[in-house]
Amino acid sequence: MAVSSSSSHETPLHIVFVPMLAPGHFIPMIDLAKLIATRGVKATVFITPVISARYGQSLRPESDSIPIRFIEIPFLSGEVGLPEGCETVDTLSFTLWSNFQSALSKWQTSVEHFIKEIEPFPTCMISDRYIPQIAVNAERLGLRRFIFDGMGCLSILIAYEIQTSKIHKTVEESEPFMLPGLPDIGLTRKQLPIHVRSNSPSMTEYREQMRAADSRACGILINSFDELEPDYITELRKLHQNRAWCVGPMSLHNKEKSEVARRGNKSSIDENECLKWLDNQESGSVIYSCLGSMSNIAPQQIAELGLALEASNRPFIWVLRKTETKADIEKWLSENKFVERTLGRGLVIWGWAPQVLILSHKAVGAFLMHCGWNSVMEGICSGIPMITWPNGGEQFFNEKLVSQILGIGVSVGPKSLLSVFPSEQTEVQIKSETILEAIEKVMSGDHQGLQRRKLVRELAEAAKKSSEKGGSSHRNIALFLQYIATNQNHA
């Protein structure tokens, strides 16, 4: 798939990309690789066979002039006790997390062996910060490494402030605390990602590996844009000696309908069928509900969300993840005749939905979401106000930005992250009445509702401009490429 390309530099640039094998990470990194390849830079992206199968033909470059290739490195699931085909975090039962880490380690070593034989040898590597082992692999190769962080600037800063101050260790689990460098941000320990708050030996070692790998990186690229987080990118540039570049939003760089529809995976519903359903709805009337590709919410909590969507009396698209509890959720849907009761105004999708395609449709008026950064960016780029329900990872950090700082969302009010094991979720955290109240606030035509819509539409326009020629992200890509071109001989 790779083709030769001409370059104005004496030595043509060649960048290798190594993602974390989770949708929220490899989707924007693949977008970034495609984007950089459109600048005439040779790009080599390492993926697994399962990721390749998910993308299908959409991995192929739009034209033969784009120098990009995708290398499938086998993921040795069976050798470490994983089910065959378990190659990405969203297919993983968390009881097998240590097995997955073993396979991921072997995979990164295989990537190193492949890079060693690549010609021309890469100019540098762009890797995900959540696979710190790859830093060691890169150093053995004598290869400069840059971090690509699929998170936003505020999220990165919060994580940095927590790790630096360790203030979370001085308070009780549910006691609010303010961050020293970010005085407007209040959190509790229950809202911190597991890899931040856990004191287990494995997580402590992982944090230290990430810290060491981050400190040795040559710079960082971020899936955000300057106009969205101006104060926070300024602080990140200070931390990274001016080697921090906002290059997003990544989702805007998929132009073809087929690319948009199959961004990250093959849709579980025919996109034309989905669009036809949306075409029959009034403008701004539809609630789109999707809690992410990795959410693992207990069936009784899913039921409360369903009751709220029904009680809203508005059309909705409800995306449900196929997890171990799918049978329990299907049983609830069947026993309560949910599909029959919402017939004509409800569309339930099991699996992967063409999210960007749906959000860009004029019928959609609100996005009920988990605050994963990809979804936040896609909602902003579509100019859609959000109903926020963080349930894992750094999602409470993102909710602070969306609902508190930008003022473009309303929280359903969760107090803590959910357990990754639905069986441990013994209580319903959010009742249907509370979810319905948040829906009504976002869909309302009152002053606050209209103000939210105005703000998010302005951000959507700013996002579009940032990616166009002369825009901040377009310029930042050029500055990054100029930096690596003029520093090729510096490891």
pLDDT surpassing 90 at residue 399: yes
Average pLDDT for 241-259:
83
As a whole number, mean pLDDT of residues 469-481 equals 97
Q: How many residues does the chain have?
A: 491
| Average pLDDT rounded to a whole number, residues 335-348 | 94
Of 88 and 174, which is predicted with more confidence?
Answer: 88
Coil, strand, or helix at residue 319? strand
Q: How confident is residue 334, by pLDDT bands cut at 50, 70 and 90?
A: very high
CA distance 324 to 197: 26
pLDDT of residue 415: 87
Q: What is the pLDDT of residue 95?
A: 85
- For residues 476-484, average pLDDT: 97
What number does CATH give the domain 14-253+467-486? 3.40.50.2000
* pLDDT at residue 292 in the model: 87
Q: Sheet harboring 42-47: ordered strands across?
A: 68-72, 42-47, 14-18, 124-128, 145-149, 220-222, 244-246
The pLDDT of residue 121 is above 70: yes
Confidence at residue 6, expressed as pLDDT on a 0 to 100 scale: 38
| CB burial string 88-103: b at 16+ within 10 A, e below | bbbbbbeebeebbebb
Q: Which residues contact 438 (CB under 8 A, 6 or more apart)?
A: 387, 410, 411, 412, 413
Query: Which pLDDT score is estimated for 195?
Result: 84
Comparing 417 with 247, the larger pLDDT belongs to 247
pLDDT at 425 over 70: no
Which DSSP helix (H) or strand (E) runs through 350?
strand 346-350
**Is the pLDDT score of 423 beyond 70?**
no
Asked whether the bond before 19 is cis by omega within 30 degrees of 0, the reply is no
| CATH superfamily, domain at 263-464 | Glycogen Phosphorylase B; (3.40.50.2000)
pLDDT of the residue at 74: 96
Is 332:460 a contact under the CB 8 Å cutoff?
no
pLDDT in tens, 314-327: 999 999 988 778 89
Look at residue 228 and tell me whether its pLDDT is greater than 90: yes
* pLDDT(273) > 60: yes
Angle at 307 between CA 338 and CA 454, to 5 degrees: 115
Average pLDDT, stretch 334-345? 94
**3 state SS for 460-487:** HHHHHHHHCCCCHHHHHHHHHHHHHHHC
Least confident of 132-146, 392-406, 416-430: 416-430
Strand-pairing partners, residue 187, are 177
Beta-carbon contacts of residue 230 (< 8 Å; ≥ 6 apart): none
Answer whether residue 7 shows pLDDT above 50.
no
- Confidence bin at 293 (pLDDT 50/70/90): confident
Confidence of residue 433 (pLDDT cuts 50, 70, 90): very high
Query: What mean pLDDT comes out for the span 223-243?
Result: 96
User: Is residue 8 predicted with pLDDT exceeding 50?
Assistant: no
The CATH 3.40.50.2000 domain(s) of the chain lie at 14-253+467-486, 263-464
For 137-157, write each residue's pLDDT tens digit: 999 999 999 999 889 999 999
| Residue 57 predicted with pLDDT over 80 | no
| Ranges 66-70, 72-76, 473-477: which has the least confidence | 66-70
Task: Please determine, for residue 264, whether its predicted confidence score (pLDDT) is greater than 60.
Answer: no
Count of other CB atoms within 10 angstroms of residue 323: 18
* Rg from Cα positions in the chain: 22
Q: 261 pLDDT band (50/70/90 cuts)?
A: low
Least confident of 30-44, 177-191, 250-264: 250-264
Confidence (pLDDT) at 373: 96
Q: What is the mean predicted confidence (pLDDT) over 249-253?
A: 89
Say how far apart CA 362 and CA 353 lie, in whole Å: 17
Give the residue with greater pLDDT, 332 vs 257: 332
- Taking only the tens place, the pLDDT of each residue in 360-372 is 999 999 999 999 9
User: At residue 262, does pLDDT exceed 70?
Assistant: no
pLDDT band at 117 (very low <50, low <70, confident <90, very high): very high
Mean pLDDT of the chain: 90
Q: What is the mean pLDDT of residues 476-480?
A: 97
